[in-house]
Amino acid sequence: MTEISETVAIQFIKGENEKENPEIRLFRDCDGKKGKAVYKFFNPTSITLENFESIKKMYLIDEEGELLIKKIDLFISENLIKEVTSTYSWNSEKEFERFMRFSKRYANSLTRN
């Protein structure tokens, strides 16, 4: 049985785990090699009006290391961060499998909490 690391997290700011659970949608090309995962956070906890301009990346962190997402869109309304959308893209089966290992670990960490 594989032990699940306590370090599975999503971060916008290095060292600060995002507590809001995202809605995640997967899209794959017909050949299955390329695709993307779109993460949507509604009212994220680690992004504020004071720090949102410094948010340039999202980190998916687990025992294998980290996956880096550079495509992030912030939606601000009435002086609140309403929604954050980030897109992780892969271009090979190997990249997709790595993403899925992170996703399984992340989902398992949510069920333990």
Q: pLDDT digits over 53-62, tens only?
A: 899 999 999 9
Residue 113's pLDDT is what?
56
Report the share of the chain in percent with pLDDT over 70.
93
- 2 within domain boundaries: no
- 51 within domain boundaries: yes
Region 27-53 average pLDDT: 91
Q: Which residue has the higher pLDDT, 77 or 38?
A: 38
Mean pLDDT of the chain: 90
Residue 61 sits in a domain whose CATH number is 2.40.30.220
Q: Which residue has the higher pLDDT, 2 or 79?
A: 79
Tally of domains within the chain: 1
- 95 within domain boundaries: yes
Separation CA 2–CA 110 (nearest Å): 17
**Residues sharing a CB contact under 8 Å with residue 94, sequence separation 6 or more, in sequence order:** none
- 90 within domain boundaries: yes
- 1 within domain boundaries: no
Q: Supply the range of the domain harboring residue 108.
A: 9-112
- 41 within domain boundaries: yes
Separation CA 103–CA 63 (nearest Å): 12
- 4 within domain boundaries: no
> Residue 99 — very low, low, confident or very high, per pLDDT cuts 50/70/90?
very high
> Residue 1 — very low, low, confident or very high, per pLDDT cuts 50/70/90?
very low
- 16 within domain boundaries: yes
